[in-house]
A and B are shown apart, each in its own frame.
Chain A
Amino acid sequence: MNQSEAGWIWDGKFQEVDIETNELLFEWSASDHFSVNDVERGPEGNGDHPSEPWDYVHINSIDKDDRGNFLVSLRYTNCIAYIDGTTGDVLWRLGGRNSSFLDLSDGAATNISWQHHARFQPDYNDENVTRAISIFDNSSRGQGAPQNPSRGLLIDINEKNMTASVRRQYWSSSPISSQSQGSVQIMDNGHVILGYGYNPAWAEFSFEGELLCEAHFGPSDGFGSGQIESYRVFKQPWIGRPLTLPSVALSGSTAYVSWNGATEVATWVLEGTSYGPEKSSNETPNSSINEDSVFITAVPKSGFETKILIPSDTPYRTLRVAAFDKEGEFINATGSLEWSPENMEGEIAVYKNGQGKSLHSASFITTPAAFGLGLITAAVLLLCAWFVNRVIRTKMGENLLNLIRGKNDDTWQTIYYDQELDDLDNLVPEQRDNEALLQSN
């Protein structure tokens, strides 16, 4: 577009800050280098008033290279720009209007649109390539422009002769079109992780582009709705050793154990402790050799929360749950937890962070109660059958049946369903005693 009138914009800026001193090291404003003529997406009614500025470039990613320069993505220009880290000058642009590169892939290396997460990638020691760039190419911004499937894009650029070519494209199993957000990560092992931003999905590929895993964390029918999103998705190594204690919920028969943030647990061990809860505040839960605790059972850790069935003949009334790693080494344990199965009908005691206690009603009906419900249902059905039988034997019921059978005229008469129901409603006052009988069960 070509606009010569004045108006209001949201400027696109980035800052480099020293996180230890909070010192501002570098700052850059798009308005110093990008005019409205660089922009693909128009103001669409914005920009006439300071309360509604025009988000004219919309910077959405920043990367810094070893040379001290920056790679910035400007979504509404459909280009990424390389910024001199000293002067702030735009050294080159890739994509959009005024692209600096000759595209050797028939346009596929530079026809990015509404893109996110531009990152330099390590060199591949190829004399024809100075380096590579990964981009999440949304190819959609929602309504108002073509909405194409999103792709992960890995581009080789040569900054000597200013050429760009596609090295790899990464596609989901069926097309996902993400109108915003998104990420591309190349892992140390070469696998590529795509986060689909606006749509609740991520995918993992081999470096060559073979789809290894694709996970949706929302219904695909809901894609395009923005109901569930994640700005980016990454996959990383991590070790979690929380200083908190495991959390345990105890019912009359089961222990549920989880430990938010712990990654090293392989086995959960349930132990009975012979001393009572009064001593738990003095106890140091870090001791693995606890002469007073006796092994009850052990289960492998499974998922976030692991279920431990407590043997019904367990004599202990205080328990503790201990975590062991895959070498069998003790990690940590909860304090002593009160457990009185006789008094816990329908209740769950939750020991968050391995201590204290809060009681909750069980959110599910236990098996004996369900069985009882089945018996009640059978009884109710029998009563209904008896009741219908009784009604038929009344005068009203007989008249009803006669109407249906057409006995008086020796011919069949049509009975409308509504009329039949109305007649039954008229019987209600007589049934009240029966209803009271049913409810008392």
Chain B
Amino acid sequence: MLWFSSIKLLALSLLSLPTALADVEAHFRSGKYAHGFEGAVPLQQYTSEPLLGLIPNYQQHSTGCDDGLFTILAPRGSHIHHPGPMILDDQGHLVWYKEYGTTYNANIYKYKGESYITFWAGNDTIFGHGSGKMYMVCPQTKPLNSVQEKRS
């Protein structure tokens, strides 16, 4: 029936109208999100950068966490197709992300007075539990060092 498809098209166009904020803000105790109705992988896109950011669903969010510090993690898994280290602010907004492939143990360490983003990246399915490199990255410069395990 033609008018059915017209209404569907109109509804779809309304859903995709530009919204007031550029970032999708984090949810709070969203049941829809918890049951997967916001998607099995709640990620957000941006217009100015071809990156993907998380959309957290906070179960608890007190001001005790609003400390201006940064959460660093490395999303991966069967449904994450562009894994890499990621940094979020204390409201869950993306701050930095770069795709490095399967990434483990992303953290920030100080080395000789400079802060570096450190992580392991590689293939975690081979040679037992994987083969890869440890990275120390300072986003202002090229990667400082990549260290491979010694064969002894």
Alpha-carbon separation in the docked complex, A189 to B90 (Å): 15
Please state if B36 and A235 are interface contacts (CB–CB under 8 Å). Answer: no
Please state if A15 and B72 are interface contacts (CB–CB under 8 Å). Answer: no
Residues of A within 8 A of B36 (CB): 219, 221-222
Residues of B within 8 A of A233 (CB): 71-73
Chain B 136-150 per-residue mask, 1 if CB under 8 angstroms from chain A, else 0: 100111000101011
Determine which residue in A10, A55, A256, A260 has the highest number of CB atoms from chain B within 10 A of its CB, and name it: A260
Alpha-carbon separation in the docked complex, A78 to B79 (Å): 30
Chain B 88-100 per-residue mask, 1 if CB under 8 angstroms from chain A, else 0: 0101111111100
Alpha-carbon separation in the docked complex, A212 to B2 (Å): 53
B71 interface neighbour in A235, A258, A350, Cβ under 8 Å: A235
Please state if B16 and A364 are interface contacts (CB–CB under 8 Å). Answer: yes
Name the residue of chain B whose CB is nearest to the CB of A201.
B59
Please count how many residues in chain A sit with their CB below 8 Å of the partner chain's CB atoms.
89
Given contacts A232-B106, A233-B71, A304-B46, contact A15 B149 (CB under 8 A): yes
Please state if B58 and A258 are interface contacts (CB–CB under 8 Å). Answer: no
Alpha-carbon separation in the docked complex, A438 to B74 (Å): 52
Please state if B56 and A215 are interface contacts (CB–CB under 8 Å). Answer: yes
Chain B 61-98 per-residue mask, 1 if CB under 8 angstroms from chain A, else 0: 11011011111111111111000000101011111111
Please state if A380 and B6 are interface contacts (CB–CB under 8 Å). Answer: yes
Please state if B73 and A195 are interface contacts (CB–CB under 8 Å). Answer: yes
Q: Does A243 contact B (CB under 8 A)?
A: yes
Q: Does B126 contact A (CB under 8 A)?
A: no
Please state if B108 and A236 are interface contacts (CB–CB under 8 Å). Answer: yes
Chain A 31-65 per-residue mask, 1 if CB under 8 angstroms from chain B, else 0: 00000000000000000000001010010000000
Please state if B65 and A212 are interface contacts (CB–CB under 8 Å). Answer: yes
Q: Does A284 contact B (CB under 8 A)?
A: no
> Can you list 19 pairs linking A and B with CB atoms under 8 Å apart?
A189-B67, A193-B71, A211-B60, A212-B60, A213-B61, A218-B42, A220-B34, A222-B40, A232-B106, A236-B107, A239-B115, A249-B48, A256-B46, A260-B51, A261-B87, A303-B21, A305-B22, A307-B22, A369-B13
